[in-house]
Amino acid sequence: MKLVMLYDDEVVSAVIEDVTEIREEDGTLYWTDINEYHARCSDNPLRYVVVSDEMDIRKGFRNPDPVQLLNIYKQRKINEIKEACKKDILNGFISPTTGHHYAFSETDQLNFAMQLTLLSSGNGKNSTLWKTEDSGIVAHSLEALHAICKESEDFKRGKLEKCWQLQNKVEGCITTQEVEQVVW
């Protein structure tokens, strides 16, 4: 595929061919080409389109294929939704059981699972210390850790289900205006 960088939404400023991966994160665009070259761009506002290798860029974008343009908008919106979902999950959650705010990075998620497994294995311990975002290090009983892990799963599952529903809504859009109205 080709990554086409745009100026003023119409003027092509750069074309990167043979792109294999594209992702947007915190306003920065990252891409990889077939030679495993990695690059990034953080122009504000960032404007780009992804087109198939068959599209002739020299024809410009003043009259793009409406179906292809709609699909480009849909893919950008889906990527935006996925990024917002990931950001919300990684920002952590507040446990109704303890009232504490817990970090929930990917490492934190692994640590929750590991600690729960260890405590549940009958190793003689019935509590553990855990760092909270709002109160520092706090002792947690096995029962409290079970409840927190269940709440964390409910929290993450809720975010993922919202993400899936919004992705389905985007896929069902028939105009670019409808796509733009879908928000996290």
pLDDT digits (tens, 9 = 90+) for 50-85: 655 555 544 444 445 667 778 878 888 999 999 999
35 or 118: whose pLDDT is higher? 118
Query: What pLDDT score was predicted for residue 10?
Result: 56
Query: What pLDDT score was predicted for residue 124?
Result: 73
Query: What pLDDT score was predicted for residue 70?
Result: 81
Which of 2-6, 53-57, 105-109 ranks highest by mean pLDDT?
Answer: 105-109
Reduce the secondary structure of the chain to three states and give it as a string. Answer: CEEEEEECCCEEEEEECCEEEEEEECCEEEEEECCCCEEEECCCCCCEEEECCCCCHHHCCCCCCHHHHHHHHHHHHHHHHHHHHHHHHHCCEECCCCCCEECCCHHHHHHHHHHHHHHHCCCCCCEEEEEECCCEEEEEEHHHHHHHHHHHHHHHHHHHHHHHHHHHHHHCCCCHHHHHHCCC
Query: What pLDDT score was predicted for residue 75?
Result: 87
| pLDDT band at residue 150 under the 50/70/90 scheme | very high
**pTM of the complete model:** 0.65
